[in-house]
């Protein structure tokens, strides 16, 4: 369920109220005087996600600026209906807003992915699958991957480029951090003499086969669906299996030895990122082309 709050000039209140009443998927409309300005009216209404995009277009057609309204998501606690309602529908405007927010190169994103790099690098060095899983749980790389797909499907190439740059910088930081860490361990003697990354039991990270392709395609679908339903934190572990381990493996090879046997990890990384974006974009495109539950195209 989405909730609309808008402030409209008093002389346009009737026109605005009529628009809300006539639009399918807009219910429980409340109108009251704006206490901060006697020249304006405040409207509050519940909006089905499937109707949100059309509502935004209608508001723009009325000349209602983006600063004059806000759409927020409200959790429905009760009543609980047996049938799935249209409240759980797909709202493109909401997905686009998430993509815009997650396409930026934030300090928090860099900090989290740097932590994931340290854990993953130690996982490669010690051949610890548990540490690799821990690194995947920390990594936030799912967010710019999905934001890139949203930008491509929506034709918003500014968001797509910015998100892909954020993703590239993040994965590049994983390689750099893993390289610096493993080199530091090597110099201090904490890394066994003659260590080479192919000695790790995780050397399969440097090999591409049909499972690499299938896993990346499936992960891209899961990534986009979780991004839409705000379950990205839980599904992010599964998505990062295709990115963080290979990046860390490559970094350890650079800093710790065995780079000649680890270039395959770079191929794995490139293939995985490309397929993640591809399958995520196809998933989103299918949702936009298929009719929603109310029968209207998205």
Summarize the chain as % helix, strand, coil (round to 5): 65, 10, 25
pLDDT given for residue 83 in this prediction: 46
pLDDT given for residue 108 in this prediction: 93
Cβ atoms of 18 and 260 within 8 Å: the answer is no
Show the low-confidence residues of the chain (pLDDT under 50): 82-87, 293-298
Rg (CA), the chain: 24
> Which residues lie closer than 8 Å to 130 by C-beta, 6 or more apart?
123
pLDDT given for residue 233 in this prediction: 54
Q: What is the tens place of the pLDDT at every residue in 65-74?
A: 877 888 888 7
pLDDT given for residue 89 in this prediction: 53
Whole-structure pTM value = 0.77
pLDDT given for residue 283 in this prediction: 93
Q: Which fold has domain 2-89?
A: Alpha-Beta Plaits (3.30.70)
pLDDT given for residue 225 in this prediction: 85
pLDDT given for residue 214 in this prediction: 92
pLDDT given for residue 237 in this prediction: 57
Domain residue ranges of the chain, discontinuous segments joined by +: 2-89, 103-289
* C-alpha to C-alpha distances, 266 to 195, 253, 296, nearest whole angstrom: 20, 11, 43
pLDDT given for residue 78 in this prediction: 66
pLDDT given for residue 82 in this prediction: 47
Name which of 228, 71, 88, 214 is nearest 149 in CA terms. Answer: 228
pLDDT given for residue 250 in this prediction: 92
């Amino acid at each position: 369920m989405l909730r609309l709050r808008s402030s409209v000039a008093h002389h346009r209140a009737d026109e605005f109220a009529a628009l809300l009443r006539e639009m399918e998927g807009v219910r429980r409309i409340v109108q009251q005087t704006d206490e901060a300005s006697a020249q304006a009216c405040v409207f509050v209404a519940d909006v089905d996600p499937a109707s949100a995009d059309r509502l935004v277009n209608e508001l723009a057609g009325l000349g209602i600026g983006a600063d004059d309204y806000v759409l927020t998501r409200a959790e429905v606690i009760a009543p609980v209906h047996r049938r799935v309602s249209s409240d759980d529908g797909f709202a493109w405007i909401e997905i686009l807003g998430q993509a815009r927010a997650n396409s930026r190169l934030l300090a928090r994103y860099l900090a989290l992915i740097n932590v994931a790099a340290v854990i993953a690098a130690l996982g490669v060095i010690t051949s610890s699958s548990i540490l690799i899983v821990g690194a995947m749980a920390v990594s936030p790389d799912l967010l710019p991957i999905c934001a890139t797909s949203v930008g491509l499907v929506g034709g918003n190439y500014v968001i797509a480029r910015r998100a892909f740059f954020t993703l590239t910088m993040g994965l590049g930081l994983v390689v750099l951090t893993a390289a610096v860490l493993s080199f530091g361990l090597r110099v201090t003697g904490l890394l066994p003499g003659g260590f080479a990354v192919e000695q790790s039991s995780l050397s399969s990270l440097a090999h591409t086969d049909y499972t690499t392709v299938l896993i990346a395609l499936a992960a891209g679908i899961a990534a986009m669906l979780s991004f839409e339903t705000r379950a990205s934190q839980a599904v992010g572990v599964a998505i990062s299996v295709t990115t963080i381990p290979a990046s860390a493996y490559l970094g350890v090879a650079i800093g710790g030895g065995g780079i000649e046997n680890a270039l395959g990890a770079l191929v794995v990384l490139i293939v995985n990122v490309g397929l993640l974006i591809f399958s995520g974009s196809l998933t989103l495109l299918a949702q936009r082309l298929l009719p929603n539950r109310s029968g209207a195209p998205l």
